[in-house]
A = this chain, B = another copy of it.
Amino acid sequence: VALNVAQPAASPTETDALVIGAGPVGLFQVFQLGLQGIQAHVVDALPYPGGQCVELYADKPIYDIPGLPVCTGRELTERLLQQIKPFAATFHLGQEVATVEKMAYGRFAVETSRGIKFHSKTLFIAAGVGAFVPRSVKVDGLDFFNHTQLFYNALPPFDLGGKHVLVLGDGESALACANSLAQVGNPLHPQRPASVTLMHRRDSFKASDDTLATHHALRASKQLQFITAQPTGFAEHNGQLTGLQVVDSDAASHLLRADVVLAFLGVSPKLGPVAQWGLDLERKQLKVNTEDFATSEPGIYAVGDINTYPGKKKLILCGFHEATLAAFGAAARLFPEQPIHLQYTTTSPRLHGLLGVVPPTV
């Protein structure tokens, strides 16, 4: 499924709804907003939609999605992307929401870690275990190069031609990124990197079968290097990162040349910046009501694993319900003048129009 991926713009994007998190619940939030006639932008820390379902469970079976006796995390994601296609949401991937500020007239000013700005009337925090804080490389001082030579969960916005690229991680996104760089370089840029190296502490990965097969083929043809090691320090020259100091599986220390480091270490279960937004919390979860899953701040909703309420179970199917009632809540807030009637996708011509379908007449 092709996504609309936004390019950075200088002025804030005005929108009715911003969904933070592109896991299954965030994707279904887009669907339910769409049924209410509300178009959404979506931000996620990972470089693709699907959240943990793709990063950790891409090939693993899930058995408790109603009506899907068995499906993998990737299949669930693809099905949801197909389902939300009529609503043409815009995705902003490989970046976290860094700041949220209340504006006049009930809007929120939002800025991501890559400088994309929104003015949104509603926010939906569908961040799962954490869409805010990428797991960092544990090397003192390395964060100085963040956004110039060090990137988290994203490709750099410049050509990698002639550069030595080091990719860190063992999940789907780390392997998929290393494969893609070794095969075609940075998409949209013509030059190939001088070298692409994947580094992880063990020669063992959590990626899908396809990605893993490509990885091993690229290693066999020497298009991709792999090293079993952990970073301990870095080298620089005139303020430019030149490499990482690493210790390998035989406890030997090396200097590994690197002009660019791309870290795909997943996301941290920390709440991160959201803890600073002044929302009511309970044991590091966002407190919501069960009527429309609004947080303590009107206009900000929390759905999926990040919220809490009496009876809460961290199950994807519960998040689907929460996203649905949150969309009704947002519609009531955005269109206070018009009553929000429950309509059925089987029978409502309005919903058929929004979905772009022509059901059979009976």
Contact = CB atoms under 8 A, between A and B. Distances in A.
Interface of A: 24, 28, 31-32, 35, 57, 59-71, 73, 76, 79-80, 82-83, 206, 289-292, 309-311, 313-315, 317-318, 320-322, 324-325, 328-329, 342, 345-346, 351, 355, 357, 359-360, 362
B61 A357 contact: yes
Contact of A60 (B60, B82, B329, B362): B362
A320 B66 contact: yes
A313 B291 contact: no
A122 to B, nearest CB: 16
B70 A68 contact: no
B28 A359 contact: no
Contacts of A63: 83, 345-346, 351, 355, 357
A310 B324 contact: no
Nearest to A290: B290
A318 B321 contact: yes
A287 B256 CA distance: 65
A61 to B, nearest CB: 5
A357 to B, nearest CB: 7
16 contacts: A59-B362, A60-B359, A60-B360, A61-B360, A62-B345, A62-B346, A63-B83, A66-B83, A66-B317, A67-B79, A67-B80, A290-B311, A311-B325, A311-B329, A314-B342, A315-B324
User: Which 10 pairs from chain A and chain B are nearest by CB?
Assistant: A321-B321, A291-B311, A63-B345, A290-B290, A69-B83, A291-B310, A66-B320, A67-B79, A64-B345, A69-B82
A289 B65 CA distance: 23
B67 A359 contact: no
A360 B73 CA distance: 14
B313 A325 contact: yes
A65 B64 contact: no
A21 B352 CA distance: 29
A61 B325 contact: no
Contacts of A359: 60-61
A314 B321 CA distance: 11
A23 to B, nearest CB: 12
A311 B321 CA distance: 11
A206 B347 CA distance: 14
A76 B68 CA distance: 9
Contacts of A289: 310-311
A208 to B, nearest CB: 10
A342 to B, nearest CB: 6
A50 to B, nearest CB: 12
A79 B69 contact: yes
